[in-house]
Structure 1
Amino acid sequence: MSSGKKPKNLDFGAMEKKLREMGVSGNLEHLKSAKSEPSVQVSKPSESVAKPKMDAPSTQVRATPSVESPPVVNDTRPMLQTDGEPERQPSDWCNYIFGTLLSIYESTWIKSYGRRPTGRFLDFADSLTEAELMRVIQHCRERLQAGERWPPIMGELALLKSQLTESESLEALNRVVTKTPKNQIEKWIMQNKGYELRRLPQSMIVRRFKEFYREAMSLQEKGKLVTEAPKALPSQSVKNLVDLKREEYEQQHGKALDPRIQAILDRKA
């Protein structure tokens, strides 16, 4: 049946008769009355709830200022290749000094300076004289006798060649005390420090003498070491009465002794 045609009218009387035959005794009057009344279809208005419109999360990304990276410049210039300087070879004199000190200290020397001379030792050895070498060797032996089994460092070696050994210090001290100086340094110590040395205890005299010797060497290097006595007295100096009387007597009697003093000496003889 198509949707455009109306349904046929039903015969409720015949339908009721058939229902009674089937054992159904219901009344169908309500169906008849329902058929006569027009059917009113009420449609409930659908309540549309207006939901609040949620703002969608912003997906916009703030544009950050772009930092331009510096352009990469490919340096195509050829690299300069410098030939390494040839290694400095030690001289025979340097090898002799190195071997001599190695024979004194043995294993401790190898730990400190290696098995062959290099670096600053080459300059030190080439500038060393034979007398300075003997002094350095004597210093090393005295240090070993004092219990120092490690060799001196490079700076100490350069200083030891100009410092007196213990034996040299004792000999120089003996010459200063006996007033028989050997050089200008010992003469300066005798003139300026002799009085102080004679009054020092025996335990301090050698140490103080070394200090005086270094002071004199420093003055000599600066050109200020003066050992010559002045040829004349300064004009502002004052003579004492003894000097005046002696000069007066020498003018009258010369260098001879006074007759009374000479007579006393003759009687004692």
Structure 2
Amino acid sequence: MTKLLTALLLGLLLFAAGCIPLIPRKQFLSLANDVAFAPELTCEQLKVDFGVPDLPTVKDPAELGIPFERAFVKTADGQTLQVWYIPAQPERGLVLLAYGAVGELPCYLLLTKHLHADGWSMVMYDFQGFGGSTGRPSFNTLVTDHNAVLDWTLARTGRDKVTLMGISVGTLPTVAQAAARPEAVNAVVLDGLLVLRLQVRRAWLLIGGWVEHYMKVFDPRLRIEEQLARVHQPIFAVVYGRDEHAKPWQIRKILSRAPGEVTIVEFPNLMHARGPYLATDEYFARLQ
């Protein structure tokens, strides 16, 4: 998302100087997708970015000694998503994880390892254009992808409800699904809540009134501040004091719109979504 803000701010300055016309909305969405999503980043690169270069890299749960099932799920728009199902025995519950805008499934196995050890079965998947999935990354396919995986999860496990967990960009479809499908969701975990309107507002500060103009390019279900007002399930949210995408008070204010129980844990000295990596013991202890 930092790349998105930089690119959009540059475009804004050029527009203000009369160098380019206002970016058409269709091009704005394409630009947002191109600079926000980075499926090409390797786990090795992400370890360095996240400050944990010595973290072991594995290709799948089996290399951690954890049995898993690999599946491929069709979406409503005809794409195929790679899905991992990692059952736990005994099982406390089932978590459906939607990860962030970078990397691929193996990059998030630290979460899998700890949650599985605590008795949680997990389903995790690659978005369109990531890892073993087909298609191209886009904000406007996030909910489509999540919906297909949630349907598959319920059918495969025989469960009526699951816990949804989203990290960064993954919080967008997570909240949307919790709002739209309360009968299938018993709780929600949000790590590094991402608010699209805040990102667009920061990028287009000099032409303030155009924020809503550009928000219209996104799937309205991604308007997380509106969707939260429909989420009655318990929410556990992780907030970061040095989050580069939003101030903690902004996230707390938006979370206050949820009518159900909201528990907030803040890591005051960490940047966006760094909790599992830089405060590992405390992070997973708080999730209990």
Q: Which structure dedicates a bigger proportion of its chain to strand?
A: 2
Higher relative contact order (CA 8 A, sep 6+): 2
Q: TM-score, normalised by structure 2?
A: 0.18
Q: Which structure dedicates a bigger proportion of its chain to helix?
A: 1
Q: Which has the larger radius of gyration?
A: 1
